[in-house]
Structure formats: structure tokens, C-alpha cells
Amino acid sequence: MDIVYHEQSRCFHLYNEHISYIITVLRNGQLGQLYCGARIRDREDFTHLLELAPRAMSSCTYEGDRFFSLEHIKLELPAYGNGDYKAGAVELLQQNGSRITEFSYESHSISHGKPRLHGLPATYAEADDEALTLTVTLRDALTGMRAELNYTVFRDYAAIARSVRYVNGGNDTVTLTRAMSLCLDLPDCNYQWLQFSGRWARERQLISRELTQGVISIGSLRGHSSHQHNPFVIIKRPTADEDKGEVMGISLVYSGNFLMQAEVDAHMTLRLMAGIHPENFAWQLEPGKAFQTPEAVLVYSDSGLGGMSRTFHQLYGKRLARGMWRDKPRPILINNWEGTYFNFTEDKLLDIARRAKDCGIELFVLDDGWFGRRWDDRGGLGDWTANPTRLPNGVTGLADKITELGMNFGLWFEPEAVSRDSALFEAHPEWLIATPGRNISHGRNEYLLDFSRPEVVDNIHDQMAAVLGSSKVSYVKWDMNRSISECYSSALPPERQGEVFHRYILGVYDLYERLTAEFPHILFESCASGGGRFDPGMLYYAPQAWASDNTDAVERLRIQYGTSFCYPLSSIGAHVSAVPNHQMYRITTLSTRANVACFGTFGYELDLSKLSGEELDEIKVQIEFMKRYRELLQFGRLYRLESPFEGNTAAWMVVSADKRQAIVAFYRILNQYNDCFTRLHLRGLDPDMLYRETQSGAVHYGDELMRAGFITSDSTAGEIFFGMMPSSDFASRLYILQADKD
């Protein structure tokens, strides 16, 4: 790992064993991109990689020189309108109405470690020798504005973290209307674009698109990262697959409005950008003030999609997630929501808890309905004190009784929302996000508090801290169930209304930071009506997130498969729920529901009193299995084997770091008859190690399992005769491979 500056050529080379990122100070002082990809040898001068040519209809920088045109030079901080006609990474509205800027090199510094981003989530280094950071300061001479471009290269990961800090060093107030976190110009567009999109209950579905001349983008204008699009995209060479080929992943560590964009110009070069969505964004900067963009993370892989994913898993699992729960196996929980919804009493909750304890469940979570005037979804939000009818002994009394059973206790909050039927709304109607004189839309009969106002965040903090500080709470499910509409803050002047979306998410981050610091023993799980804010920004504060409100095992195959391209298994909240499923009305076996959910943080979301003795016995076996293997399942190295987006089967596996243990999962969605023989080509094993499949006792060397394959053929491969084990729809199997004793 190193960052080298070659003074004669003015080239910077950031590299480790896996990746090289090379930039240079151009003739006009702007910062140019020369190379991003697999590690290459360092040399004194890389400027031969800068290709210049005279092209018709181009605007050129220097009189009489038709070669130097910003339209055709690869740039690190491009700005539209000064010869570059593609979308820019920065736009600055000045007092004379101009938006033209010319950011030129002023200075640079190289430091060990990685500085924190004030008020924002970001990756980090625990020791100075884990990372190096380059800060290149550019300056626009006319306005005095400085742009500090920060690049971090990690010792152990094929990743570059990038952000920009803007400082107004001039005498006039200016307005940032565009502030991208990352811009990457590449010399060709021979890539496929992969995005992870969908909608509520169908989040992070894999979508592939071809890149050609024009613009492809995804984003959110909902005030949160959204169910519709995840702030993560992949570009891959057409021949790249799970195991081989060149892949780049770009992830934005942010939970608000975002834009991820690919622009291919007429000469088929590619510009990638990621950052805050510029629509409805306008941030005023007075002299001396600064603005920090969110961090974008670029991961490079020459070992396919799987190599990219495992880099993100390790980086985000170890150097984005924080706190005492980062590396700890997660408790097996039961959540009462789909078991009772709002129809519960303290006695009912205790009955569920006792049954859960008998099964071996470790954590009881009380979901929505415990507070204020909360009888249904029309009241109570904003009043975080116990409803005395439902909880006569308060949260403290219930938590005491649960912990006396030998279980831990968790609690649901939706701190950003307020109901009209609440004491908070009656006292502070001005605390709503609402536009004066306009209709106020509701979502799920609720409204959003203006978290851009510090006094609002303080009020909710004090309420939550009082509950958490007085009760034995070890887990918090932090929900958020509606998008921002009629975005306006009565606390800000008209010229600052373009700041509300970003200030809102900064307020959310501030509340998370304060509560996680004050209650470090509590495991926080983020949730946004399921997967509406499943993003890296949330992972910084809460090491796991509820992946989707859709708990159907078959739908979860796609949701969890898509999620796995960026996010570690330890971050994926996954539960076994009742059947018929509450969203899909589909009936799947209890074993399949568990076989899907165990590749995540694992828990149950049902009423145990409605299960048979045989089903309860099966749950006990599932819990024993999960306790035995959860460290491997949550922190092992994931290998995707068959995609549920491509056929009737799906498969994946996890392998321990020492490669001595693996769990393989195979799922068949619809039953087949007289079908083909099937086998899986496993990955990630030691080719020289002998593995025993624990159920059958069969032994195979790793090279055989990976090259010849692991046979999964069953009764579907022919006719079913008497005595054979029949198959059915929604079938699944887990195979445990253990290295045979030497």
C-alpha cells in the first residue's frame, strides 16, 4: 500500500496489492484521471496515458491549440460549461448568476490512516498502517472556493474511498447546487451496468442494462435511499461472471436523496458519478463555511462479481459497521409483529416469550403499539412513553419480566414520525415537515418530524434515552415508514429550503450517533418499512437492517441474493414467519423458511402458540443448528452459485476463513418431474482438503467439489417410486461440509 507523488510528471499513484488509481495535475491545473484498475507497477511518469486529439466542434482551452479540450480529457472534478459538455461533478451558483468554475491545483498532502467525516457515516481505519489518505486541494481563483478531494487507499481491500469537502475561502456567499462525491472517467464503455431496484416488498432485484451513448441513472428523491433503488451499482465487462473478469462496484455511504449515473459520450468514453441528488439541493455557503459530501466507495475486482462482493462484505462488515456488535454473532430473536400486530396485552407477550424461551430463543422484541395513544396506525407516534392499558407495569416492568425468564428484551421505535393524535403534535404542529398553504400528504396515516431542526432531534433523543436508560433494553428496531413529501422547514429561510433534505438525514445521523454512544451495549437494527433505507449509511450506526417487509421464503431468495452483491450476511435481517405468508399468502415448509432465513441475522416472526408440538420441536432443532453455525453463517465468505433471477433453482454457500468448514444451500422453487440430474460447482474450498458431508458421510476433495461438482440430484430426476423421498414445491436443502481429520 502506498501513495506516491511524482513531482516531475505531477502524477499521483495510489495502490495496494490489488488496485491502482492514478491521477495527474493537468496543464491547466485541473485534476485528470489516468488509470483505475488492477495493480500496475509504479513509474515516474504516467502522462502518456493522457490521450489528446483535435476533434471538430470541440471547445478548446488554449488559443491556437486544438488538442487540449476538456470535452475529451478524463477529469476528477469536472464542471459543466467550461469546455466539458457532460454532466459535471460540481456546480456553484455565484452572486452574479454564473455557474462556471475552474478548480485548479493548489496543494496536496498525504497522511496515514483515514480522517472521520464530520457528521457523516464513512469507512474507517482502526490503525494508521491500515490506510493512506491523499488530500488534493483545488481552488477556483475567481470565487476563492476550495475543493478538497479526499482519496483513501486501504491496505487490505481493493477499494478507494472518495469524498469532497468544499470551503468558501472568498468574500461572497455562494450556493452549491451540485456536489458529487465521486466522478470516474473511463476510456471505454464496454461494460454492462447492474443495478438493484424494485419496490416495497420486492427490494434489490438485480437488473442488467447495456451501456451505450446517452445517460443511465438511478436515484431517489424520496428523502431516503428508498425501496425503489439502492445506492449501489456495478459495471462489469460483458464476459465477467461470478468467478472471473473485470468488475467495479460503486457504493454511496449515504441514506438520503442520491444519484448514481453513467454517461457515455459520442466517442464512447464513460463517466460514472455518485453523490447527493442535485434536484431540490441548494446549499448556501457563507465565507469561511464548509460543506462535506458523503463518501463513495469504489471496489475493483479482476475475479468477477464474487470477488467484488467479498471485498465489500469484509470492508463494510469490519470497517464501516462499528461497536461491540460488529464482530459478535447476533442473538436469535422473536418479534411479535406478525404474530399479534396491534392485538396484544402484557400477558399475551409473556406467553409468547415463555414459549420462545422453551425453544431456545434468546431475545424477545416488542414491536409497534406499546406507546402513547397507539391502538392502531392512526395515533401515538411521537409520544415514547408506555401505553398503561397495554403495559400496566410500563416498559420497565415488562423488560424485567422478560429478563427474569432468561431472555433479553428489545423494543421498536419509529422516532422520525408523528401522528396527529399525539401529545407531541398537539404541542408542536410546527415541527412537521410541511409546506405553508399546501396540502400535507400522509403515509400510513403518519407525518414526518422536521429532523433538520436540532430542537426536534433533542426532544426525540430525550424521550428515547429515558426509555432506554430506565429499562433493560438490549436491542432497538428503528423503523421509518414513509417518504418525505411537501419538503419544507419552517425553521429555515426561503433561500435555504434546498438544504432541508440533507439537513434531515444529518439529523437522523446525529440521533443515531448520540444514542449508540450513550447505549453501546444495545444492538440497533435499522428498518424503513422493510428495505427502504438498506444502505451503507445506516450500516455505520446499526450493524444490521431489516431486509424487507416481505418474509415469504421464495421472495426472500431474490431479495437476499440481490442484497448480497454489496452487503454482508451479518447485516441482513431475516426471519421465519407464519404461513400462509402475510404478504404472499403462500405456504412454504418450515424447513425452507429457516433455510433461507439462516443466511442472515435470523429470528422468528409468528405466534408460537399457534404451532403444533411437531412444529415447535422442529423450531428447537433449527435454533440448535443456528447457534452451532451462526458465526459461519453470518461472518463466513459468501459464494453465489445459482441465481434465482435466472431459473427455477438458487444456491449459495458460505466458507470459513480457514476453509475447513462450509454450508451449501440449494433451493428449488417449483417441483419438477422426470427432470435432469443436477450438481453444483462449489467455490472457495481448499482443493487439497478432504471434506466430509456430515449428513451422508460422503467424502470428497475440494478440487472435485469445485470442478466435477457436488451432486444435488434427487427424486425429481426421474419417476418417484414407492419408498423414495418425494420432493415438493419450495423445497430446500442444506449441506454441511467439514474438513476430514488429518
Q: Which domains does the chain have, with CATH numbers?
A: 2-319 (2.70.98.60), 333-635 (3.20.20.70), 642-739 (2.60.40.1180)
Q: Would you list the DSSP string of 30-49?
A: -EEEEEEEE-----S--GGG
Question: Could you tell me which of 412, 419, 480, 475 has the C-alpha nearest to residue 447?
Answer: 419
Sign (positive or negative) of CA dihedral 344, 347, 349, 352: negative
Band (pLDDT 50/70/90 cuts) for residue 367 is: very high
Sign (positive or negative) of CA dihedral 574, 576, 581, 584: positive
Residue 719 has pLDDT above 80, yes or no: no
**The pLDDT value given to residue 718:** 79
Band (pLDDT 50/70/90 cuts) for residue 438 is: very high
When the pLDDT of each residue in the chain is averaged and rounded to a whole number, the result is 96
Sort strands 333-335 and 295-301 into parallel, antiparallel or unpaired. Answer: unpaired
Pairwise CA distance, residues 394 & 282, whole Å: 45
Q: Would you list the DSSP string of 101-143?
A: --EEEEEEEEEES-PPPTTS-----SSGGGEEEEEEEEEETTT
Question: Could you tell me which of 704, 661, 656, 649 has the C-alpha nearest to residue 682?
Answer: 704
Q: Which residues pair with 24 in a beta bridge?
A: 11, 32
Sort strands 447-448 and 417-418 into parallel, antiparallel or unpaired. Answer: antiparallel
**The pLDDT value given to residue 722:** 56
CB 726 within 8 A of CB 715: yes
Band (pLDDT 50/70/90 cuts) for residue 178 is: very high
Q: How does pLDDT run across 620-643, given as a tens digit for each residue? A: 999 999 999 999 999 999 999 999
User: Sheet of 31-38: strands edge to edge?
Assistant: 2-6, 11-15, 19-25, 31-38
**The pLDDT value given to residue 559:** 98
Question: Could you tell me which of 4, 272, 314 has the C-alpha nearest to residue 159?
Answer: 314
Retrieve residue 680's grid coordinates: 453444483
Question: Could you tell me which of 680, 668, 677, 660 has the C-alpha nearest to residue 740?
Answer: 660
- Fill in the amino acid letter for 288: G
Pairwise CA distance, residues 79 & 82, whole Å: 7
**Residue found by looking up cell 498502517 in the block:** 129
**The pLDDT value given to residue 533:** 98
Q: Helix, strand, or coil here: 522?
A: coil
Q: Helix, strand, or coil here: 266?
A: coil
CA atoms within 13 A on the CB side of 4: 17
Retrieve residue 376's grid coordinates: 392502531
| Stretch 574-581: mean pLDDT | 96
Q: What would you report as the CA-atom Rg of the chain, rounded to the nearest whole angstrom?
A: 27
- The beta strand positions in 239-360, using DSSP E, are 247-253, 258-264, 270-276, 283-285, 290-292, 295-301, 333-335
| Stretch 530-541: mean pLDDT | 97
Retrieve residue 551's grid coordinates: 418474509
Residue 721 has pLDDT above 70, yes or no: no
Q: Helix, strand, or coil here: 404?
A: helix
Pairwise CA distance, residues 459 & 141, whole Å: 44
CB 281 within 8 A of CB 257: yes
Band (pLDDT 50/70/90 cuts) for residue 720 is: low
**Residue found by looking up cell 414445491 in the block:** 729
Contacts of residue 208, Cβ cutoff 8 Å, sequence gap at least 6? 192, 193, 194
| Stretch 326-354: mean pLDDT | 97
Q: Which residues pair with 179 in a beta bridge?
A: 90
Whether the model clears a pTM of 0.95, i.e. scores above it, the answer is yes
Contacts of residue 712, Cβ cutoff 8 Å, sequence gap at least 6? 651, 666, 678, 679, 680, 733
| Stretch 602-616: mean pLDDT | 96
For 380, left (φ over 0), alpha (ψ -120 to 50), or beta? left
Q: How many residues does the chain have?
A: 742
Q: How does pLDDT run across 30-78, given as a tens digit for each residue? A: 999 999 999 999 999 999 999 999 999 999 989 999 999 999 999 999 9
Q: How does pLDDT run across 73-93, given as a tens digit for each residue? A: 999 999 999 999 999 999 999
How big is the CA angle at 699 (ends 697 and 705), to the nearest 5 degrees? Answer: 125
Question: Could you tell me which of 75, 73, 68, 147 has the C-alpha nearest to residue 105?
Answer: 147
Residue 346 has pLDDT above 70, yes or no: yes
Query: What percent of the chain lies above the pLDDT cut of 70?
Result: 99
- Give the relative orientation of helices 613-635 and 590-597 as an angle to the nearest 10 degrees: 20
| Stretch 296-316: mean pLDDT | 98
* HEC letters along 467-519: HHHHCCCCEEEECCCCCCCCCCCCCCCHHHHHHHHHHHHHHHHHHHHHHHHHC
DSSP state of 379: B
C-alpha to C-alpha distances, 713 to 276, 563, 656, nearest whole angstrom:
49, 28, 26
CA atoms within 13 A on the CB side of 198: 25
Neighbours of 532 (CB within 10 A): 29
Neighbours of 329 (CB within 10 A): 18
Retrieve residue 211's grid coordinates: 451501456
Widest Cα–Cα separation across the chain: 88
Retrieve residue 607's grid coordinates: 405466534
**The pLDDT value given to residue 717:** 83
Choose between 721 and 589: higher pLDDT: 589
Pairwise CA distance, residues 70 & 640, whole Å: 42
Band (pLDDT 50/70/90 cuts) for residue 723 is: low
Residue 664 has pLDDT above 60, yes or no: yes
**The pLDDT value given to residue 365:** 98
CB 49 within 8 A of CB 9: no
Pairwise CA distance, residues 250 & 626, whole Å: 33
Element holding 356 (H helix, E strand)? helix 346-359
Contacts of residue 353, Cβ cutoff 8 Å, sequence gap at least 6? 334, 364, 401, 402, 405, 407
Pairwise CA distance, residues 474 & 274, whole Å: 36
Pairwise CA distance, residues 17 & 111, whole Å: 19
**The pLDDT value given to residue 489:** 98
Question: Could you tell me which of 453, 454, 456 has the C-alpha nearest to residue 427?
Answer: 456
Pairwise CA distance, residues 606 & 616, whole Å: 12
**The pLDDT value given to residue 251:** 98
Pairwise CA distance, residues 444 & 422, whole Å: 15
Question: Could you tell me which of 4, 38, 40 has the C-alpha nearest to residue 24?
Answer: 4
Burial of 420 (0-12, 13-18, 19+ CB in 10 A): middle
Positions annotated as catalytic residues are 479, 549
Question: Could you tell me which of 246, 230, 249 has the C-alpha nearest to residue 238?
Answer: 246
**Residue found by looking up cell 478548446 in the block:** 60
Pairwise CA distance, residues 650 & 732, whole Å: 9
**The pLDDT value given to residue 740:** 85
Band (pLDDT 50/70/90 cuts) for residue 442 is: confident
What is the dihedral angle through the alpha carbons of 414, 420, 426, 432, rounded to the nearest 10 degrees?
Answer: 70
Pairwise CA distance, residues 664 & 518, whole Å: 40
Residue 716 has pLDDT above 90, yes or no: no
